[in-house]
Structure 1
Amino acid sequence: MSGENGSVDRVVAQGTFDLLHPGHVHYLEDAATYGDELHVIVARRENVTHKDPPVLPDRQRRDVVAALSVVDEAHLGHPEDIFVPIERIDPDVIVLGYDQHHDANSIRKALRDRGFDCRVERATRREPDYDGEILSSTAIVERIIDERCP
């Protein structure tokens, strides 16, 4: 889906991506449908404040996300300013995960205040495909603890 004058529509998705699971894959595949290039910003451990910090190192999480065929480029977030990668990528669309804690309207306002002209969308929810499928990193960790730790 090319933009005006044949330009490439760049899409940004972002998240922690600790213990990659089918819910993450769905989010990124859904985000990719909004444009031609999918850039993914992987949050640095020190910037994850809304939940427990990721278990896996920043670079490892970025490398795993980058290995997905739907992802054109994976980036680590900036340690101090979340908008630095957005400036560099210059997206046409930012797609939030369906259950991410971010408020889309607050992000739209922050983008406008910083002079960015891009849409903010919300990805669709993915339901489990079969009984027992886990679509949450936290639920995966809890299951491991329940089943492996006496």
Structure 2
Amino acid sequence: MTRVVAQGTFDLLHPGHVHYLREAKALGDELHVIIARKANVSHKQPPILSDEQRREMVAALEPVDFARIGHDTDIFVPIEEINPDIIVLGHDQHHDEAELEGALAARGIDCSVARAGPRESQYDDELLSTGKIIDRVCRERC
């Protein structure tokens, strides 16, 4: 059995998230998704939705077998517990594959790292970014 891990913030789910998770699932038999804790999101604006609400939404998606909230201080703890064969990064995630592979090796975690491709827009007003969704809400509702 090939175990795959995907991870991310998953705030305000959109088709890009579903595309990422479908691509990740296609690489294995079992997809585990780690949802970043709001307190640990420092590379962009913090999520709007709570950790548990984001986990519940991701867990409801068809490709996902297991969804959990990440560790509060060490991002590698859930990866060690899951023991994946592959970690799949989203096409626009800020992680560097080589750095991640080095950190995994240093922790004794033997798995490969792959990157999902982007989802091409399917129609003119499709939004594939949480930030763009928020911007539109602010423009049209605020």
Give the TM-score normalised by structure 1: 0.94
Match of 1:116 among 80, 100, 109: 109
Q: What SS class does the counterpart of residue 45 from structure 2 fall into?
A: coil
- TM-superposition CA deviations, 1:59-111 (whole Å, max 9, x none): 00000000001100001000000000001100000000000000010000000
Check if 1:82 corresponds to 2:72: no
Q: What SS class does the counterpart of residue 132 from structure 1 fall into?
A: coil
Q: Tell me which residue corresponds to 2:49.
A: 56
Check if 1:105 corresponds to 2:98: yes
Q: Tell me which residue corresponds to 1:126.
A: 119
Gaps of 5+ in 2: none
Residue-pair matches, total: 142
Q: What SS class does the counterpart of residue 98 from structure 1 fall into?
A: coil
Instruction: Kindly provide the amino acid, as one letter, of the partner of residue 56 in structure 1.
Output: L
Name segments (4+ residues, structure 1) moved above 3 Å: none
Displacement of 1:145 after TM fit? 0.2
Q: What SS class does the counterpart of residue 102 from structure 1 fall into?
A: coil
- TM-superposition CA deviations, 1:115-149 (whole Å, max 9, x none): 01100000011111000100000000000000111
Gaps of 5+ in 1: 1-7
Q: Tell me which residue corresponds to 2:32.
A: 39
Q: d(CA) in 1 for partners of 2:42 and 2:29?
A: 31
Q: d(CA) in 2 for partners of 1:33 and 1:124?
A: 12
What percentage of aligned pairs have identical amino acids? 63
Q: What SS class does the counterpart of residue 67 from structure 2 fall into?
A: strand
Displacement of 1:44 after TM fit? 0.2
Kindly indicate whether structure 1 or structure 2 has the higher relative contact order, using CA contacts under 8 Å at least 6 residues apart.
2
Check if 1:145 corresponds to 2:125: no
